[in-house]
Amino acid sequence: MSARRALVLGGAGFLGSHLCERLLSEGWEVTALDDFSTGSPTNVACLRALPGFKLERRDVTSPLQVKGPFSWVFNLASPASPVHYQADPVKTTLTNVLGTLHALELAVKYRARLLQASTSEVYGDPEVHPQPEAYWGHVNPIGLRSCYDEGKRCAESLAMDFVRTQGVDLRLVRIFNTYGPRMAVDDGRVVSNFIVQALRGDDLTVYGEGSQTRSFCYVDDLIEGFLRFMRQERELGPINLGNPLEFTVLELARLVSEITGSRSRIVRLPLPADDPKLRRPDVSKARALLGFEPRVSLREGLTRTIEALATTLARDGSGVHVIPGGRRPEHAPVARGAS
């Protein structure tokens, strides 16, 4: 078996494209599968001329016939923002359950190590803070978000059953809020929402009082965590990967406004159903096992992301009314509660 061939399901998505780029830079041959429902060929346009990269349009809910062998398989195939996963909730559930089944079958066929991308949403609206891997969660199984939350929980169960019955070499990772270049303009997640609104000069929409907290991990730090996890031999997971620094949503809105120099107003809208009030990973396990430590500050990561989204908006003719970096903030919000 080739020691340097990887398969990335969801390879044209936000996370998948960054992972493909990193693997190629380290000498891997990479096959990326994507149905382009939320990913885009644009995300991997700079990779398609490389001899070690192959992109195929596939829907992971159908059985996957992919020519191997592969040493590593990464299952990142799922919509990950409420706007996208609620647009077709049945398909979201099937993508997470059937897509994971088909990824596991490929891992069995090629005796490949599989990274299964789970999510902090398996913890629901948590009653334990910060969230350690041992916490079982507080999830509404029949709510508007359950297609994603319960889809990912079922995928975790399925993956662990394949470990027990088929001996799959699993690496199960729970991803907390991640952001960076190549986020879609219509992604619907809080970071991209605020940036696009600020760049367009629109109101920044905060849901509820904005006191709900999130922890924001820059994409390069997350990908580093992926690869460290895949290279170690002792632990199959689950393991939390994310940034343990915690901000309120209102603090994030103000920081985006300051970095962009936007004069957009911050307006409040009703809080969506089942929106988590608290979100911060306990990354003690990742620190001890992997030496994982996010390096990119929120200010630096937002600046890079703002520049990338401004370029996208300008290219698409969407209208950018603010010059990123036009006014630098005198003070940034203070992060609270590193775990």
Q: Does the active-site annotation cover 148? A: yes
Give the pair of three-digit tokens for residue 84: 């996208």
DSSP character string of 262-309: --PPEEEEPPPTT--S---B--HHHHHHH-----S-HHHHHHHHHHHH
What is the distance in angstroms between the CA of the first residue and the CA of the last residue of the chain?
41
Q: Do the Cβ atoms of 79 and 85 come closer than 8 Å?
A: yes
Residue 139 near residue 149 (C-beta atoms within 8 A):
yes
- Out of 123, 148, 179, 218, pick the active-site residue: 148
Residue type, 247: F
User: Are the C-beta atoms of 66 and 11 separated by less than 8 Å?
Assistant: no
CA distance 84 to 38: 7
Half-sphere exposure (Cβ direction) of 177: Cα atoms closer than 13 Å? 24
DSSP string of 181-225, one letter each residue: TT--TT--SHHHHHHHHHHHTPPEEEETTS--EE--EEHHHHHHH
Provide the annotated active-site residues. 148
